[in-house]
Amino acid sequence: MARVPRGNNWLREHATGTWLILLVLFVASVPLLPFGNNYVIAIVVRALLFIALGQAWNVIAGIGGQMSLGHGVFFGIGAYATGLLFNDLGLTPWIGAWAAAVLAAFVALIIGIITFRLRGIYFALATVVISLAFEKLSRYYSAFTGGDTGLAIHFRGTAPAVMQWREPQAFLWITLVVVVVYFLITRWLLKGDFGLSLQAVRDDEEAAASAGVNVYRTKILAFLLSAVMTSLAGTLYLQFYSSIDPGSAFGLSQAIQIQLPALIGGLATAGGPVIGGVIMIVLSEVTNIVSGKMDWPGVDVLAYGLVLLFIVFKAPQGVIGLITSRRPPRKAPDSMATKGVQ
Amino acid sequence: MLQALISGILVGSVYGLFSMGFSLAFGVMRIVNFAHGELVMIGMFVGLVVANNLGVDPLLAMPLAVVIVAAVSAFLYLFVFQRFVGRATLQQLLAAIAVALILQTAAALIFGPSAHAVRSNWGSQYLLVGPIFLSYAQLAAFGISLACVAAVEIVLRGTSWGKSIRAIADDPEAAQLVGLNAHFINVSAFAGAGALAGIAGSVLVSYYPVSPHVGFALMPIALIATVLGGLGSVGGAFIGGLICGVVQQVTSVLWTSALQDVPLYALLILLLAFRPYGLFGRKSAH
């Protein structure tokens, strides 16, 4: 998929880490700043959730080149499994999150075994219908999942033992830690042995196989990692919003929201989902205000659609691609095309 | 069960109708038009507006629906899909998803997010043949669909335009070499796919409520019918649509109507994984 040429990526090359650490410290200290009221903090948490989901999807779609449109499945499992374990069995989400992640990995294993027989667009289409099936099933088995109205976790006020707080500060610090860890995972994948095999598989499966890479196993392992990361972010989403429903868990528009940060920022880069997530939160806040003022529900989806169209046509390498292509109007390498049918 | 089979075939004939349009774009141009369900939705809204404002049957809106949806479809080809012809890429899929989202939201802004049914028509009347209930609306849909399949097959096999389409589907480069105007053929094929979606929409709205999100319910069926019928086989997509209808209805009887699509999804994944050239397609079409 989108290949950012090595050595042409200012984020990777010049970021001595210093200013990244400063950035993290700044975000962590938002609650202490004068403008850091709960409204602002909640926006930052939502941005961090966008980023974490984008980072998780970027592992398989960007670095692995397998364009899953079914990541809502793992997001939904993370939210639903954690919530059900807590509501029905009283299991704290601190443990439930990992139980959900194991379940997500198991489901990813089954999906991967079947669908990694397929390539490119056929893999994408198969993952679409899998998430549609999950949505239908979660609506139907309502005694278990809460059906259309969804699942609300039993709220106990500020109770750190069960990952609940009235104020959003704690969520900011937790999601920030997750985003930093995911950033480091992405960096490791971009440079480490496993990640290099994965990128080799993405760029040319036959060549990777003849160089001794186990293509099938590499793809499945990356898919499992991506599913676990998505599931953990799903748990955080549930704890932060206190509820989840089939549409916002498994729906196609959710799947697209998971993809957009990486697509906007730049696929297969560590900084891409971060930049994309920030743009997403701005987009989402602006459209929220517009839809509130003008009574236009769903205008955020319209904005997502337009942005997606713009990215596909004008910036297939995302914002990072726009920044790094210093040489003026060079046609971006149409690397996605190599994953086509032909 | 006999009832399920017969209703399945009646419902499925309309699925087959719009699946043929999807198959035309997929088979000929290798374009996965994820927004094809939205084209049907536009046809349904045209039928709704005409029926509710003029008080006539939505079927009478069909010519208007055909013109509008064919125009939208040709427009989409020219401005979005043209650059992707011949390569079913992930970028193309993302672009089509974006188009689907934009059309959905536009419909929601115009008509509101809820579902609308057509007022006062004969869609709820039934014909009783022995133990079998037959809805008039679905019988009409079946008749229209059969007529369309016949027309499409005749056009594809009998006219020079249809033969050009099939030639391009078989081998685009050779077709260009012998002087076929691929650009015109592609635009008109997309318009034709839109026309079929428009017919299906105005037929469907007489018994199926329309909402901005109806496209995402219909598109997977078109995809499944196309894969069932075999890529590049337009007639096969119609048969695939019939199979989808029957599977849905049988699932409703044996399990529940809420999950009538789930076996179809499973079927699609198994087909893609194990028999990607479909039940009626040739291996070369893949």
pLDDT one-digit tens code per residue, B200-238 = 999 888 888 899 888 888 998 999 998 888 777 888 899
Cα A172 to Cα A28, A177, A275, B162: the distances in Å are 7, 9, 18, 60
- CB within 8 Å: A252 and B259: no
Over the stretch A312-327, which tens digit does the pLDDT of each residue have? Answer: 888 888 888 888 875 4
Alpha-carbon span A304 to A288, nearest angstrom: 13
Q: Is A192 on the interface with B (CB under 8 A)?
A: no
**pLDDT attached to residue B184:** 85
Closest Cβ–Cβ partner in A298, A311, A337 for B87: A337
Over the stretch B114-164, which tens digit does the pLDDT of each residue have? Answer: 888 887 556 567 777 777 777 787 888 889 999 988 898 888 888 888 888
- Among candidates A262, A305, A267, A266, which has minimal Cα distance to A283? A305
**pLDDT attached to residue A326:** 54
Closest-CA distance, B240 to chain A, in angstroms, reads 17
pTM comes to: 0.87
- CB within 8 Å: B93 and A67: yes
Question: In this structure, what token pair is assigned to residue B145?
Answer: 């669909």
Closest-CA distance, B13 to chain A, in angstroms, reads 22
- Residue range A260-265: average pLDDT? 92
Closest-CA distance, B27 to chain A, in angstroms, reads 12
Q: Which residue of A has its CA nearest to B30?
A: A341
Alpha-carbon span B80 to B259, nearest angstrom: 34
Q: Around Cβ A117, how many Cβ atoms within 10 Å?
A: 16
Residues 6+ positions from A202 with CB-CB distance below 8 Å: A1, A63, A64, A65, A66, A268
- CB within 8 Å: A137 and B104: no
The gap from C-alpha B139 to its chain's centroid, in whole angstroms, comes to: 18
- Residue range A164-175: average pLDDT? 90
- Residue range A85-90: average pLDDT? 93
Reported confidence tier of residue A234, pLDDT bands at 50, 70, 90: very high
In the three-class reduction of DSSP (H, G, I as helix; E, B as strand; rest coil), residue A271 is classed as coil
**pLDDT attached to residue B134:** 78
Buried b (16+ CB within 10 A) or exposed e, A208-233: beeeebebeebbbbbbbbbbbbbbbb
Amino acid letter, B228: L
- Residue range B243-267: average pLDDT? 88
Reported confidence tier of residue B284, pLDDT bands at 50, 70, 90: very low
Q: Is A110 on the interface with B (CB under 8 A)?
A: no
- How much is the mean pLDDT over chain A? 86
- CB within 8 Å: B269 and A114: yes
Closest Cβ–Cβ partner in B91, B261, B265 for A336: B91
Reported confidence tier of residue A256, pLDDT bands at 50, 70, 90: confident
Alpha-carbon span B263 to A305, nearest angstrom: 30
Best residue of B33, B79, B82, B91 to probe chain A, by most A CBs closer than 10 Å? B91
**pLDDT attached to residue A96:** 95
Chain A, 203 to 242: residues with Cβ < 8 Å from chain B are none
Residues 6+ positions from A146 with CB-CB distance below 8 Å: A152, A245
